[in-house]
Structure 1
Amino acid sequence: MITLTINAQPFTVEAEPDTPLLFVLRDSLGMTGTKYGCGIGQCGACTILLDGQAARSCQVPVESVGDQTITTIEAIEQDPVGARVVAAWVGIEVPQCGYCQSGQVMAATGLLKQTPKPTEDDIAGAMTNLCRCGTYNAIAAAVRQAAA
């Protein structure tokens, strides 16, 4: 049994220690806002926050989480920075198909928690999630708006 703190709530799950956190979130706990994309940490659809920093949950073995706090898209608006990011996303109408957007929002929130006033280079360096619809300009604009 592994105990995790997710969205400020304790959860105890039965999982193999090397199970990716993504599968624990989606399959064991039903938190399907965190998306499965590539499974190799490249696309970013599975991005969550570990102690406030963006992490690709498909690459995080559940045993490695320890006492770190996990934040998923389901609770991101409870975080003041996350709420600003979501408001900017909605205001600018960033999503098209929407599949990557939970990961994008999590990555943007992680960036702004670490770097509240990011430069263009900071945004480009942190926002590396893939978007098949190509909304990168709108994503960058939403990050700038959330930081303002």
Structure 2
Amino acid sequence: MTTLKINGRPVAVDTPPETPLLWVLRDELGMTGTKFGCGMALCGACTVHIDGRPTRACVTPIAAVGDQAVSTIDAMADDRVGRVVQQAWVELGVAQCGYCQAGQIMSAVALLKQQPKPSERQIDEAMNGNICRCGTYPRIRAAIQLAASRLQGAK
């Protein structure tokens, strides 16, 4: 039995320690907001935060998580930065098919928490590895810039 701290609460799971975090979230806990994309940490669809760092859940065994805090897209509505990012996403119509968007949002939130006023280059670097098959990259960048602006104005 392993206890993980997910979205601010302890969760006990009975899975082997090498089980990827993604499968625990989706299959064991029914948290399907975090998506399976490639299974090789190449597309970013499965991005979660582990102690605030964007991490690919598809290749992260639960043994590597330990007592670190895991945040998923499911908790972003309760997170100030996450809420502002999600609002910008909706307002600018970022999502097309939507499949990659949870991972995109998780990467954007991590960026804005680390760098509240990111340059275009910083946005590109932070979002590198988050693939959008629909090609909504200009809207993603615009939504991050809008969220950053709103977060700066809120201070």
TM-score after normalising by structure 1: 0.98
- Once the two structures are superposed, what CA deviation does each residue of 1:67-109 show, in whole Å capped at 9, x if it has no partner? 1111111111111110110011011010000000011110100
Structure 2 counterpart of 1:135, one-letter code: T
Q: Which runs of 5+ in 1 are unaligned?
A: none
Runs of 4+ in structure 1 off by over 4 angstroms are none
Query: What amino acid is the match of 1:20?
Result: P
Letter in 1 for 2:74: E
- Describe the superposition over 1:125-147 as per-residue Cα deviations: whole angstroms up to 9, x where unpaired: 01120000000000000011111
1:108 maps to which residue?
Answer: 108
Percent sequence identity over aligned pairs? 57
Corresponding residue for residue 141 of structure 2: 140
Whole-angstrom distance in 2 between the partners of 1:46 and 1:137 = 21
1:12 aligned counterpart, secondary structure: strand
1:52 and 1:22 map into 2 onto residues whose CA distance is 17
* C-alpha distance in 2 between matches for 1:74 and 1:13: 18
* Aligned positions, number: 148
- Can you give the 5+ residue segments of structure 2 that lack an aligned partner in the other structure? 150-155
TM-score by length of 2: 0.94
Shift of 1:17: 0.8
2:40 alignment counterpart: 40
Paired letter, 2:63: E
For the aligned residue pairs, the C-alpha RMSD in angstroms reads 0.7
